[in-house]
Amino acid sequence: MLLVGLTGNIGSGKSTVAQLLSERGATIIDADVLSRRAVEVGTPAYKAIVERWGTSILDASGMLDRGALRRIVFSEPTELEQLNAFVHPEVERMRDKLVQQARMRGDKLVVCDIPLLFERKMTDSFDKIVLVDAPRPMRLERLVRERGLKETEAMEMIVAQMPAELKRARADFVIDNVGTLAQLDARVGEVWSALEQSAELTASHAFEG
């Protein structure tokens, strides 16, 4: 099985790339989905978050108000680190379980969508790293237009991540998402072909072993 780490700074279009890879047959394990599951009402992470930041970060139904929490943590690095400390261990536990299940099923190509792959020093856990990138002004504009964020809020989220320039040199594949969806799809197709070749090599080596 080929285990691929998919990452990209916020607003790069990483989720779209994950969808395009899924359509080509990849098994996708999405960190955002897992992080939501990790903070559902009653979980240890949920209880720790409420204890730390109080009930002002809950919505009317008692669930986490992600917008309210985001406004607190992205303006203060130590608060963001604390939130990650509550959530990430559970996300990693769930991801490991899903990877193991995929391995048992015989899935050939598993893509883990992880926004903070480089920041959390997880590169060694994967056979290949795919980075989705776009210029900062373009990512800022997408966050404001598509997610309805204020510009200051969007900038705080952008600067909280490692600069993409540092990530590009350490990625096996870079997908620049600066054109049309058709152009992005074509580039994803090129990367998919290369990943399939790597997956076949991995499978043949395992068979020989």
pLDDT at 209 > cutoff 60: no
Measuring CA to CA, how many Å separate 193 from each of 19, 103, 121?
16, 21, 27
What tens digit of pLDDT does each residue of 28-54 get?
999 999 999 999 999 999 999 999 999
pLDDT at site 74: 83
- How does pLDDT run across 48-76, given as a tens digit for each residue? 999 999 999 999 999 999 889 988 888 88
pLDDT at 88 over 70: yes
If you average pLDDT over residues 106-131, what whole number do you get? 95
Residue pair 126/1 in contact by the 8 Å Cβ criterion: no
Residue 71's pLDDT is: 87
Tell me, letter by letter, the H, E, C secondary structure of 182-207.
HHHHHHHHHHHHHHHHHHHHHHHHHH
pLDDT of amino acid 67: 87
**Which helix (H) or strand (E) covers residue 6, if one does?**
strand 2-8
